């Protein structure tokens, strides 16, 4: 399900970016940062 959302974002980047999308992106970046620190 996430792969479908990711492909949809790639098809039209910057379009239809909702607050949920921004929060998901922020959470993903935070998890990556935490992963690199551990």
pLDDT tens for the 38 residues of the chain, in order? 565 555 555 565 566 667 788 889 999 999 999 999 88
Neighbouring CB atoms inside 10 A of 7's CB total 9
Alpha helices in the chain, H assignment, sequence order: 2-11, 19-37
Q: Angle CA(19)–CA(10)–CA(21) in degrees, nearest 5?
A: 10
Contact indicator for 37, 25 with CB cutoff of 8 Å: no
Whole-prediction pTM value?
0.45
pLDDT at position 7: 58
């Amino acid at each position: 399900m996430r792969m479908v959302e990711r492909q949809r974002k790639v098809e039209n980047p910057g379009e239809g970016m909702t607050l949920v999308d921004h929060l998901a992106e922020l959470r993903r970046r935070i998890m990556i940062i935490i992963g690199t620190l551990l």
